[in-house]
Chain A
């Protein structure tokens, strides 16, 4: 168990594993956050739905997006990593099954898949937190406004983080991504019906 944890720690220090996981996390996190903003604004404007009903709709979507994130990356990385191993095997003229490199690739795939599922889970669920307080301290309108702001904040964090690791101005990078959340909310408002 201890050696397994040490192996995982070493794996997480690998820049390639971190870079691929980061991309999936942020890309799918982006999808999840924007989807969540779209659902809560659309549901509020549609009327007829209570806070708990909106939570249920978003929770259902979260399951779908998280499963999609994990499953697709699991399969994509499986194919990619097997192709990489095959290329090396062809050069070495031996099979790499059972070697540490094979095990490392397999563990890297698990980390990639988990991060890919975690992104949309956070992106979908954080904006619906205010709906738990509807009726107690918040109205449906304010829960929606707060939900959109949480989503925009999350998008800002994604952008700021990417700006930070690429040595760009993190405030500008964050504002650029945060703006998309407001655009999605705005489009929902002006949509007919």
Chain B
């Protein structure tokens, strides 16, 4: 099975869980080389984040478990890149 190399997630997390902690914990997962956490929206109780994770072999279940342990909930999986190299999204006429 080909390795998962990039995962882009849209998720909600409680405000009380710090974004830095969220990023650190995701980056610490085995097989993950780095994580980028961007704030999309924030209100009184929760924050909407876009999370980009890259690595040699990302364990998507471990990522989902860590997100849940931190009190987050995944809205959607927005991008998945698998294989020996990172393939970027190709522009189409519709874009």
Contacts and interface: CB of A to CB of B under 8 A. Distances in A.
Contacts of A94: 68, 73
Contacts of A102: 71
B71 A87 contact: no
Nearest to A105: B16
B14 A88 contact: yes
Interface string B53-88: 000000000000000111111000000000000000
Nearest to A96: B71
A100 interface: yes
Interface residues of B, number: 15
List the 3 closest A-B pairs by CB distance, nearest first: A101-B71, A99-B71, A91-B46
A93 interface: yes
A191 interface: no
Interface residues of A, number: 12
A91 B68 contact: no
Contacts of A99: 68-71
A136 interface: no
Given A99-B71, A101-B16, A101-B70, 12 more contacts: A88-B14, A88-B16, A88-B46, A92-B13, A92-B71, A93-B73, A94-B73, A96-B71, A99-B68, A99-B69, A101-B71, A104-B16
B89 interface: no
Nearest to B25: A100
Interface of B: 12-17, 43, 45-46, 68-73
B73 A101 contact: no
Contacts of B12: 91-92
A71 B2 CA distance: 56
A100 B45 contact: no
Given A101-B14, A101-B16, A101-B17, A91 B69 contact: no
Contacts of A101: 14, 16-17, 70-71
B45 A88 contact: yes
17 contacts: A88-B16, A88-B46, A92-B12, A92-B13, A92-B46, A92-B71, A92-B72, A94-B73, A96-B14, A96-B71, A99-B69, A99-B70, A99-B71, A100-B17, A100-B69, A101-B14, A104-B16
